[in-house]
Amino acid sequence: MLLGAFAFQYIGGMAPCELCIWQRWPHGIAIALGVIIYFVPNRSIAFLGALVVLAGAGIAFFHAGVELKYWAGPDTCTGLPDLGTLSVEALWSRPVVRCDDIPWSMWGISMAGWNGIISLGLAAIWGFSLRAKN
C-alpha cells in the first residue's frame, strides 16, 4: 500500500493531502512490526500489527467520508482561512491539495476507500498470524 501511495505521488504526479499522509503512518509502522516479528515471533507483536492496520483503515474510511462530504475534515485541508485573519502568510501556509477532493477513483471507490478496504484485509492477515504457532 505504501509503495502504491508513493507511486501515485512520484510517478503519477499526484501530491498527497494531509489525510493521505496520515494514512501512510500505519502502513509504515506495520512494515516495521512485520520486520520485527520475522526475527522475533511474538503474538503480542502480531496483535499490535492488527491494531495498527485497523487504525489505518479507520483513518482511510474517515478520509473517504470527507471526500464524499459525509462529514467535515480537518480545517487545515478542507476549509478556507478565517477571512478576518487573511494574510499572505496564511494563504502560503495552506496545503494546495484538498482532503475533500477525489483525485482518483476506480469503480466509484476513491484511493482512500480502497486503502480502507485493503487495510481491513491486512488486519485479517495479521489476525490469522495470531493463530500461528511460535
Q: How high is the pLDDT of residue 109?
A: 85
Query: What mean pLDDT is predicted for residues 103-110?
Result: 82
How many domains does the chain contain in total? 1
- Which range has the worst mean pLDDT, 5-14, 19-28, 45-54? 5-14
**Proportion of the chain above pLDDT 90, given as a percent:** 23
Instruction: Give residue-wise pLDDT tens across range 50-104.
Output: 999 999 999 999 989 888 888 877 777 765 555 555 555 655 555 567 777 778 7
pLDDT on residue 87: 57
Q: Is residue 77 part of a domain?
A: yes
The CATH number of the domain holding residue 44 is 1.20.1550
Domain carrying residue 120: 2-129
Rounded average pLDDT over 19-23: 86
Determine, yes or no, domain membership for 134: no
- The whole-angstrom separation of Cα 130 and Cα 44 is 8
